[in-house]
Structure 1
């Protein structure tokens, strides 16, 4: 299928949001809701385009491509966590994204192996109320059980720290992306979210910031990120389709570099903050210095090194 430029732009901006989340971890409210938005968008769009690719390709070719794009870079990041733990004393928090996304694609390929027609297009439709209610109920229950009975953070020594609730959230965002592809959302003949969906996104951002910090496991703390996931996907896609459905020189450069920038961001931030930690300066100044280091060093590394490695080259 033809790529949607606004999806490319949205994913690129989401990478910048991820960098901001990593830089601004001391601000709990922004960190939590920013992570939910970033996870929702990245896994939804990845599933949408991944399902399209798997529909027209053989399973073996698809898995080889995903291993090249996600598998070995993800394994490298997990191994790099050992070095980061030894040097900085901190474990990475996003290293799980690439291996987890690869496992989700492998599971989708297995589903296709069992039912070859599972990814064929259905009649173009819009999100129905029964579907949305079932989706919201299932994810809210999953998040509630996760918050109530699982630790907030699972530590894999010397490799990474993983939030179980984010694993569930990303799984459902991925499933929603596959469903949207099958039912031809965002296509000319299918469902197109309206501008008012952006209002729903803005409302949920406010609700999340006001409600979530410091709360325990309740049905509301499970329902809020669930609604924010849906609002992020529909609201931001509507906004970008209307306002950012074309490439400029800046957006095209960011699109080409975004995957590599996502790949190198956490190691750069962890090491920069570790070296800056002894300085007797304000936290905000350390964050600004770290952001400048990331912007300059990350750009040079992506532009002149990673873009020459096949797995980091842009496909769009």
Structure 2
């Protein structure tokens, strides 16, 4: 396998971070925004609602897939102790810093933007650790870290993993239909017991129950993909001419299903089944479609992509607070919301990019994390 063959996965991960920023910007300007959302612009647009619906579904499964793809070779290279030490520095410690330093002022935006009589210091030291506790965007780090811990335990218990080798092979015809069926079944089962978009929150873990199995499945799919040499010579390489039409169709179907879910008069069980199936197919089609595009068109190591890949973690870590305060500051400005959204997105991305490059990746200790 040529070393630069998988640069596209780093580029894809960086692009997903840009989409995460765009998602959180769009939530501030969307029609039908969650009532609790940090900043809600008085003027909204269905355009941003559509963006949120389309971006929200596939980005996290792709991130877990990429993490899983590189997990076993990293374990084999470093061993369990060093592997877990590195993940503690790179994932657990930033999660702790995020919860202690950035999540409280982010959560404070909720009462602050609603003119509630709350002072930030008392909120930070009191209410945040009780009824207002949340992980903000850092829930991903906690969940990913515990997945790595679980994988390390499996590694210790299953010696065969130590000598597991990559054996490139094509994906059998049954593979993707079966994967989608399992994914849809997990989603459908969970929403029989818990409402859609419900968040489970504890001090050490936060997730949406209907999506937790998707994240585990895609992390596991990443491990499977590495084992069978996906994206390498002799392994499965998704093709644009196959996956891009599938992506377009599944995207349109999911959008119609999601946007029409509440208004549909069909029996609830039927609606939930269709939603689960459309969700699962859109997820896998996005991952394969994006992989097909990036592996052929965005597989380089030019200056832009090298910098984006290196600084994307810091952009993710910093962006939330910047997005919400900027969006709040622009509420009184009489610009079009499309201009406002563009300004928030570009200023946030550029500021966080420069701050990561100049501070997070150069300061002692911090550079070991970012």
Same fold per TM (> 0.5)?
yes
Can you list the C-alpha shifts for 1:34-67, whole angstroms capped at 9, x where unaligned? 1222112211111101222113321111011011
Q: Is the 8 A contact 2:89 2:369 kept in 1?
A: no
User: What residue is the counterpart of 1:32 in the other structure?
Assistant: 53
Quote the Cα distance in structure 2 between the aligned partners of 1:163 and 1:28. Answer: 20
Quote the Cα distance in structure 2 between the aligned partners of 1:58 and 1:246. Answer: 30
Instruction: Report the CA distance between 1:161 and its aligned residue.
Output: 7.0
Indicate yes or no: 2:44 matched with 1:44: no
Can you list the C-alpha shifts for 1:122-149, whole angstroms capped at 9, x where unaligned? 6422222333333222211111122232
Partner of 2:159, secondary structure, is: coil
Quote the Cα distance in structure 1 between the aligned partners of 2:325 and 2:368. Answer: 24
User: What residue is the counterpart of 2:137 in the other structure?
Assistant: 94
Q: Is the 8 A contact 1:173 1:229 kept in 2?
A: no
Indicate the larger mover: 89-98 or 64-73.
89-98
Instruction: Report the CA distance between 1:88 and its aligned residue.
Output: 4.4
User: What residue is the counterpart of 1:288 in the other structure?
Assistant: 342
1:118/1:29 Cα in 2 relative to 1: closer, same or farther (>3 Å)? Answer: farther
Q: Is the 8 A contact 2:188 2:273 kept in 1?
A: yes
Partner of 1:178, secondary structure, is: helix
1:188/1:157 Cα in 2 relative to 1: closer, same or farther (>3 Å)? Answer: closer
Indicate the larger mover: 286-295 or 251-260.
286-295
Relative to the length of structure 2, the TM-score reads 0.77
Relative to the length of structure 1, the TM-score reads 0.89
Instruction: Report the CA distance between 1:207 and its aligned residue.
Output: 1.9
Quote the Cα distance in structure 2 between the aligned partners of 1:28 and 1:40. Answer: 20
Indicate yes or no: 2:216 matched with 1:181: no
Can you list the C-alpha shifts for 1:4-31, whole angstroms capped at 9, x where unaligned? 1111111111111111111112133321
Partner of 2:160, secondary structure, is: coil
Can you list the C-alpha shifts for 1:240-287, whole angstroms capped at 9, x where unaligned? 111112121111111111111111111211222233345555433432
Instruction: Report the CA distance between 1:292 and its aligned residue.
Output: 3.5
**Alignment equivalent of 2:298, drawn from 229, 236, 244:** 244
User: What residue is the counterpart of 2:181 in the other structure?
Assistant: 137
Divergent runs of 4+, >6 A: 157-161
Larger Rg: 2
Q: Is the 8 A contact 2:142 2:204 kept in 1?
A: no
Quote the Cα distance in structure 2 between the aligned partners of 1:146 and 1:81. Answer: 28
Aligned length: 313
Q: Is the 8 A contact 2:12 2:294 kept in 1?
A: yes
Indicate the larger mover: 47-56 or 173-182.
47-56
**Alignment equivalent of 1:164, drawn from 203, 209, 221:** 209
Q: Is the 8 A contact 1:78 1:159 kept in 2?
A: no
- Which runs of 5 or more structure 1 residues have no equivalent in the other structure? none
Q: Is the 8 A contact 2:170 2:234 kept in 1?
A: no
Can you list the C-alpha shifts for 1:155-202, whole angstroms capped at 9, x where unaligned? 648999743233232221111111111122112121111222222222
Q: Is the 8 A contact 1:193 1:237 kept in 2?
A: yes
1:53/1:158 Cα in 2 relative to 1: closer, same or farther (>3 Å)? Answer: closer
Partner of 1:148, secondary structure, is: coil
Quote the Cα distance in structure 2 between the aligned partners of 1:281 and 1:159. Answer: 41
Q: Is the 8 A contact 1:201 1:236 kept in 2?
A: no
Name the Cα RMSD after superposition.
Answer: 2.5
Indicate yes or no: 2:305 matched with 1:261: no
- Which runs of 5 or more structure 2 residues have no equivalent in the other structure? 31-47, 114-133, 263-270
Quote the Cα distance in structure 2 between the aligned partners of 1:256 and 1:108. Answer: 25
Q: Is the 8 A contact 1:93 1:162 kept in 2?
A: no
Indicate the larger mover: 114-123 or 246-255.
114-123
